[in-house]
Amino acid sequence: MAWLLVVVAGILETGFAVCLKLSHGFTRLWPTVAFASFALASFGLLTLALRKLDVGPAYAVWTGIGAAGTALYGMVFLGDVVSTLKIVSISFVIIGVVGLQLSGSAH
């Protein structure tokens, strides 16, 4: 259950990062409200998950999902540049997160 919270929190991290961009420096109301909502929910779920999980692997999964998800969302929906190096780098982030998780989380 704790890992499910981390995964959902990571997805919400993607949401708050995208909304942060869409808020244009907090000058647009609804993206700013969405950013704050996603951020609060993401941090809240991560906090709950950390009651049962080691901080290193949990934080790596949370940030990895957020980083990879945000980069992919930007390329698919926001017109960010797509390149082979960017795709390979996102793959390395995901591989690193999986490797860290498999390396010995006690829970």
Give the pLDDT of residue 97.
85
- Would residue 80 count as lying in a domain? yes
Check pLDDT > 80 for residue 104: no
Return the DSSP state at 83.
-
Q: Which two tokens stand for residue 70?
A: 């945000």
pTM of the model: 0.89
Residue type for position 8:
V
**Domain of residue 36, residue span:** 2-102
Give the pLDDT of residue 107.
47
Give the pLDDT of residue 103.
78
- Would residue 107 count as lying in a domain? no
Over residues 32-91, the pLDDT tens digits come to: 999 999 999 999 999 999 999 999 889 999 999 999 999 999 999 999 999 999 999 999
When divided into structural domains, the chain yields a total of: 1
